Structure 1
Amino acid sequence: MQPFTARTIEIISAIPQGQVMTYGQIAAAAGSPRAARQVVRILHSMSVKYGLPWHRVVNGKGEIALQEEAAVQEQTWNLEAEGVEVLPGGRIDLNRYQYRPENG
């Protein structure tokens, strides 16, 4: 496993319940600020294998980025079950819910 992939899995695994991180924020924390799409790929291919809390990852605007309606609904339900308010259009208030680990 590549170091960026391992670090990305570690970061996503550490997102606390009731909080979210953005793809770009995770990429930067994993050492490659321009690799947000790689974070998407890692989530898509490794969420089940590593039990990642994929629902806690949103785009840079605080929006649910999934396209399939069933997946959007599942992410919305998972976030709301953790106390995250999902606004119309699948938006999350990053000022309120964004996780900012102390080490970056």
Structure 2
Amino acid sequence: MDDDYVEAVLALVEDVPAGRVTTYGALARAVGTGGPRQVGRVMALHGDAVPWWRVVHADGRPATCHGGTAVDRLREEGVPLMARGRVDVRATEVS
């Protein structure tokens, strides 16, 4: 994986403010290459140093890594959750 791509994804994640989210697909579109899976790969390999819990699936499912702590972190930041712990992406996505 290209280091420039990794850096671009991580920089965008760092800019997501507390209480807001973005999706893997939105990050891929913002970078301009790759897709949600490539962004997910970056997050899996390099995302520990950024607010990884603010990146969710398009349907609002939080990441399941880190022992499933994403939901707790999102709640602490005041992110509204819907049924089954999903994020209301339309209400909280960074544009």
TM-score by length of structure 2 reads: 0.88
How far did residue 91 of structure 1 move? Answer: 1.1
What are the superposed Cα offsets for residues 24-54 of structure 1, whole Å, 9 maximum, x if unpaired? Answer: 000110111x521111111111122xx1100
Please tell me whether the aligned partners of residues 23 and 36 of structure 1 are also in contact (alpha carbons under 8 angstroms). yes
State percent identity of aligned pairs: 29
1:36-73 CA distances to partner (integer Å, 9 max, x unpaired)?
1111111111122xx1100000011122242x6x31xx
Letter in 2 for 1:43: M
Number of residues of Structure 1 aligned to a counterpart in Structure 2: 94
Q: Give the match's secondary structure for 2:84.
A: coil
Q: How does 1:22-33 map to 2 (within 5 A)?
A: 22-32=23-33
Query: In the TM superposition, what whole-angstrom CA distance separates every residue of 1:10-34 from its partner, at most 9, and x where no partner exists?
Result: 10111000000000000110111x5
* 1:7 shift after superposition: 0.8
- Which residue does 2:92 correspond to in 1? 97
Structure 2 partner of 1:40 = 40
Superposed structure 1 runs of 4+ greater than 4 Å apart:
none
**Normalization by structure 1: what TM-score?**
0.81
CA contact (8 A) 1:12 1:53 kept: yes
The residue number in structure 2 matching 1:52 is 50
Partner-residue secondary structure (3-state), 2:71: helix
Aligned to 2:11, what secondary structure does the other structure show? helix
The answer (yes or no) to whether the contact 2:21–2:55 under 8 Å persists in 1 is: yes
Runs of 5+ consecutive residues of structure 1 not aligned to the other structure = none
